[in-house]
Chain A
Amino acid sequence: MKKLIAGIAGLVAGALVSIVVFADFNGNKTTNQADTATNAQKVYVPFGQKDEYYLFASGGHSGQMFIYGVPSMRHIRTIPVFSRDSATGYGWDKHSKKMMGEYNWGDLHHPALSETGGDYDGKYLFATDVGNNRAAVMDLKTFTVKDILEVPNTGGPHCAAFVTENTEYMFLPTRFAVPFGHGYAALDEFQTKYKGVMSAVTFDESKQKLKVAYQVALPPWSFDLSDAGKKISKDWAVMTTYNTEMATTEMEINASQKDRDYIVLFNWKELEKMVAAGQYDTVNGMKMIDPAKHKGAIYLVPTAKSPHGVDVTPDGTRFIASGKLAPAMTVFSFDKAFQAIKDKKFAGEQRGIPVLDYESVMEREVNPENALGPLHTQFDNKGFAYTTMFISSEIVKWNIKTGETVDRVPVQYSPGHAAAAEGDTVSPDGKYIIALNKIAKDTYLSVGPSHPESMQLIDLSGKKMEIIQSAPVDPEPHYAQIVKADKIKPIVVYDKDEKRPDSVWTQKDTSIVRKGNVVEVHGVALRSKFIFDGKAKRKDVISVKEGDKVVIHLTNIDLDQDITHGFGINSYDLNMEIQPGQTQTIEFTADKAGTYPLYCTNFCSALHQEMSGYLLVEPKG
């Protein structure tokens, strides 16, 4: 017995010693150098070569759009959309100032590339502003915003923009219910006075203008994400709802009470017919369809609690809801939905809108073990879906047809959306997916309490998903789209369009003309000087009187790649950029008398430092 005890004691002691000596309490796994080198090669793009894809990542409450290259994950450019940007003068030059109107910021949520036949055509990018109810269109020939539209009657178009198969419409459902025209109404009247208005916006390519075609007065619920149908479902679109409880306070509790919320399934072709048939009311100048009065276009599909994303499969046969609070993805069939509508398999109505029988539309509930907080789904070209799990911080790959989980990869940390290479089109590429993580925590060098977000590039080409790159990004991408680089065909310099209003192209055509108290300058910028009046003694000086309105049109006549000129007026709080071949206008009132240097703010040439002049504002006599 003693021997036994001694033996056991000896073994225990030996085990303890070995643990103390050999165990690794740091939890650091040794990184496999060979794998690291392989991954590095996959993302390295040497000088002279370019990335295979563009990544358009929304900039969230920065109001901007971030352009990255994939797979290098290099940040290429930030494009201002809903917020001012002093670097480019966006919000200062006449055109962008007019587009910005009275607003200074925006909350750019979801970007949407224009589509032809359900595929990205690389022509335009649309975006919505939850902060101030706007929609914008960016021309991808110049990567500049062409129009911004303020949409009345809504409270934060969240899940827009999503475009129909041939960019016929972009839909903007509202996140917050508000009374028509943001009028005053007590919250006790929420169920009668408040509306969840969805807007159908069209884009006129020749005029480069956005317009609200019509609106739909949906119940005062919150609308979250959405997607347009494809192929057999191309006339349809889907969007998720939450707060069908119609709670008006303590939303995190009160909007999470029901086990089922809805997916709104609507036929935009039918809505179009209703508008053509005059079946609408006019509300604040908008054509407003009341779905309780005009039936046949909108249906509700019950789905698991507070869903976030709803995504249509590349073949257009199914739509997948991500449960968020119910840890499951639900696969619905468009064919079954169409049949249920035909057979009138309704389970009652909600505020006049027919509710389809859940079992008649649902194909399968997918519930990977311990996968929590499914938010959003993207696709590859092999029949797999990739769903982000916010709470369990991973991406789950699963088979659309069988629901079987194929692979899972942890991401750092808490992904909101993911963007796969052309992953929401009719033909995804299946090469990459990028996790748009909401929390970066300790991933990068610390810059204090305000952290960047994190984007992780995941290689989908192998059997296992593999994270091959990680890049910090400014707050905060909500959604992104990845498009093949050769689809985008930007211009290098603006055309020398001599008929363009207010452009001048030679030094002798420059002029400063006074009409009453308006001084209008037609000048040129070229390496390395400004010429405002080629006939004047000092060609680079603008002299005005205190109180004058000053209008300066500047044309950059250096038609050479990347020879951008800036135009800043010292202590007058003004700056803009003029790209090669571009004409830009800045207007201001010279309300401060005195002497103000003006200079080129964008380094242009060896004599950039000398590219300056003066604004002289003569005091009132």
Chain B
Amino acid sequence: MSNSLSISSVISLCLASILLIASIFFPWWGMRFFAPQYPEGLDIIVYPYKMTGDIDIVNGLNHYIGMKGFGEDNFPELKYLPYLIGGLALLTLVTALLRQKSVLYGLIGLFVIGGALGIYDIYRWLRNYGTKLDPRAPIKVDPFIPPILGENKLANFVTESYFTYGSFILGAAFLCTLFPLWRDRKK
């Protein structure tokens, strides 16, 4: 039975599946904008299916440097991301039912690839927004790429990018998929 997963591993995978679904309803990533006039900060908060926060205000200010407007319409990912996550949750559940280590390896591989693609996607958007500035903008700034994580300074603004609850839950789900590797390791 060395290739079959134990009951506690199955439970762990089921938990991972539930956590994945739960993560959809929490914000994954955000950016805060601080300026002398905005000591309280302006927010952009990204959920897998929507964007919230002070998007109109941020867009209004960003147009001065020729940045395109953020908005749900500009991010097609937000339309299918919840389904991708749901699909991954389903695969996790299937893995739990099959109780096959080889399937689990495949699942973990999917997780790693998906995570990497996700991070690359955010980077791609940030690069896109920060470098493809309208040449006719009233205020000229050098192209820039805001970091996925951490602080950046631009004109009167300091931005702070961060991962939040949804990502943490996602991380927990990933740990739950790793748990069987330890639980059912060869002794």
Bound together, the chains give a CA A610 to CA B138 distance in angstroms of: 11
Provide the residues of chain A in CB contact with B54, threshold 8 Å: 560
Taking the closest CB of chain A, its distance from the CB of B145, in whole angstroms, is 24
Whether the pair A560, B60 counts as a contact (CB closer than 8 A) is yes
| A147 CB-CB contact with B under 8 Å | no
Bound together, the chains give a CA A310 to CA B61 distance in angstroms of: 56
Bound together, the chains give a CA A558 to CA B54 distance in angstroms of: 11
Main secondary structure of the interface of A (DSSP, over half): loop
Q: Using an 8 Å CB-CB cutoff, how does the interface string of A296-323 with B read, 1 for contact, 0 for none? A: 0000000000000000000000000000
| B83 CB-CB contact with A under 8 Å | no
* Contact count A vs B, C-beta below 8 Å: 18
Whether the pair A559, B57 counts as a contact (CB closer than 8 A) is yes
Provide the residues of chain A in CB contact with B138, threshold 8 Å: 607, 610
- Chain A, residue nearest B156 (CB): A606
Whether the pair B64, A560 counts as a contact (CB closer than 8 A) is no
Taking the closest CB of chain A, its distance from the CB of B65, in whole angstroms, is 11
State how many residues of chain A have any CB contact under 8 Å with chain B: 9
Taking the closest CB of chain A, its distance from the CB of B113, in whole angstroms, is 39
State how many residues of chain B have any CB contact under 8 Å with chain A: 8
Provide the residues of chain A in CB contact with B57, threshold 8 Å: 558-560
Provide the residues of chain B in CB contact with A607, threshold 8 Å: 64, 138
Whether the pair A526, B60 counts as a contact (CB closer than 8 A) is yes
Chain B contacts to A: CB under 8 angstroms: 54, 56-57, 60-61, 64, 138-139
- Chain B, residue nearest A557 (CB): B56
Q: Using an 8 Å CB-CB cutoff, how does the interface string of A554-583 with B read, 1 for contact, 0 for none? A: 000111100000000000000000000000
Bound together, the chains give a CA A161 to CA B139 distance in angstroms of: 53
| A123 CB-CB contact with B under 8 Å | no
Bound together, the chains give a CA A527 to CA B54 distance in angstroms of: 15
Known: A527-B61, A560-B60. 10 other contacts (CB 8 A): A526-B60, A527-B64, A557-B56, A558-B56, A559-B56, A559-B57, A560-B54, A607-B64, A607-B138, A610-B138
Taking the closest CB of chain B, its distance from the CB of A578, in whole angstroms, is 15
Provide the residues of chain B in CB contact with A610, threshold 8 Å: 138
Whether the pair B64, A606 counts as a contact (CB closer than 8 A) is yes
Write 18 A-B pairs (CB below 8 A) sorted by A numbering. Answer: A526-B60, A527-B60, A527-B61, A527-B64, A557-B56, A558-B56, A558-B57, A558-B60, A559-B56, A559-B57, A560-B54, A560-B57, A560-B60, A606-B64, A606-B139, A607-B64, A607-B138, A610-B138
Provide the residues of chain A in CB contact with B60, threshold 8 Å: 526-527, 558, 560
Bound together, the chains give a CA A610 to CA B64 distance in angstroms of: 12
Bound together, the chains give a CA A304 to CA B57 distance in angstroms of: 63
Bound together, the chains give a CA A566 to CA B57 distance in angstroms of: 19
Taking the closest CB of chain B, its distance from the CB of A461, in whole angstroms, is 34
Taking the closest CB of chain B, its distance from the CB of A96, in whole angstroms, is 28
Provide the residues of chain B in CB contact with A606, threshold 8 Å: 64, 139
Bound together, the chains give a CA A526 to CA B60 distance in angstroms of: 8
Provide the residues of chain A in CB contact with B61, threshold 8 Å: 527
Provide the residues of chain A in CB contact with B64, threshold 8 Å: 527, 606-607
Taking the closest CB of chain A, its distance from the CB of B183, in whole angstroms, is 52
Bound together, the chains give a CA A607 to CA B61 distance in angstroms of: 11
6 closest cross-chain pairs (CB), A and B:
A560-B57, A527-B60, A607-B138, A558-B60, A559-B56, A526-B60
Bound together, the chains give a CA A606 to CA B138 distance in angstroms of: 10
Taking the closest CB of chain A, its distance from the CB of B178, in whole angstroms, is 45
Provide the residues of chain B in CB contact with A527, threshold 8 Å: 60-61, 64
Docked complex: A507-561 residues within 8 A CB-CB of B: 526-527, 557-560
Most buried by B among A558, A560, A606, A610: A560
Taking the closest CB of chain B, its distance from the CB of A296, in whole angstroms, is 60
- Chain A, residue nearest B63 (CB): A527
Taking the closest CB of chain B, its distance from the CB of A418, in whole angstroms, is 38
- Chain B, residue nearest A606 (CB): B64
- Chain B, residue nearest A505 (CB): B56
Taking the closest CB of chain B, its distance from the CB of A47, in whole angstroms, is 11
Bound together, the chains give a CA A607 to CA B54 distance in angstroms of: 21
Bound together, the chains give a CA A250 to CA B18 distance in angstroms of: 90
Q: Using an 8 Å CB-CB cutoff, how does the interface string of A600-621 with B read, 1 for contact, 0 for none? A: 0000001100100000000000
Bound together, the chains give a CA A403 to CA B138 distance in angstroms of: 72
Provide the residues of chain A in CB contact with B56, threshold 8 Å: 557-559
Bound together, the chains give a CA A456 to CA B138 distance in angstroms of: 50
Bound together, the chains give a CA A559 to CA B60 distance in angstroms of: 10
Taking the closest CB of chain A, its distance from the CB of B58, in whole angstroms, is 10
- Chain A, residue nearest B39 (CB): A48
Taking the closest CB of chain A, its distance from the CB of B120, in whole angstroms, is 32
Bound together, the chains give a CA A560 to CA B56 distance in angstroms of: 9
Taking the closest CB of chain A, its distance from the CB of B61, in whole angstroms, is 8
Bound together, the chains give a CA A559 to CA B57 distance in angstroms of: 7
Bound together, the chains give a CA A559 to CA B61 distance in angstroms of: 12
Bound together, the chains give a CA A621 to CA B61 distance in angstroms of: 44
Taking the closest CB of chain B, its distance from the CB of A612, in whole angstroms, is 14
- Chain A, residue nearest B37 (CB): A562
Taking the closest CB of chain A, its distance from the CB of B43, in whole angstroms, is 13
Taking the closest CB of chain B, its distance from the CB of A579, in whole angstroms, is 15
Taking the closest CB of chain A, its distance from the CB of B180, in whole angstroms, is 49
Bound together, the chains give a CA A527 to CA B59 distance in angstroms of: 11
Taking the closest CB of chain B, its distance from the CB of A494, in whole angstroms, is 14
Bound together, the chains give a CA A610 to CA B56 distance in angstroms of: 21
Bound together, the chains give a CA A610 to CA B137 distance in angstroms of: 13
Provide the residues of chain B in CB contact with A557, threshold 8 Å: 56
Provide the residues of chain B in CB contact with A559, threshold 8 Å: 56-57
Bound together, the chains give a CA A526 to CA B62 distance in angstroms of: 13
Bound together, the chains give a CA A526 to CA B139 distance in angstroms of: 17
Bound together, the chains give a CA A527 to CA B37 distance in angstroms of: 15
Taking the closest CB of chain B, its distance from the CB of A560, in whole angstroms, is 5
- Chain B, residue nearest A580 (CB): B57
Provide the residues of chain B in CB contact with A560, threshold 8 Å: 54, 57, 60
Bound together, the chains give a CA A567 to CA B140 distance in angstroms of: 28
Taking the closest CB of chain B, its distance from the CB of A349, in whole angstroms, is 66
Bound together, the chains give a CA A557 to CA B59 distance in angstroms of: 12
- Chain B, residue nearest A560 (CB): B57
Bound together, the chains give a CA A557 to CA B69 distance in angstroms of: 15
Provide the residues of chain B in CB contact with A558, threshold 8 Å: 56-57, 60
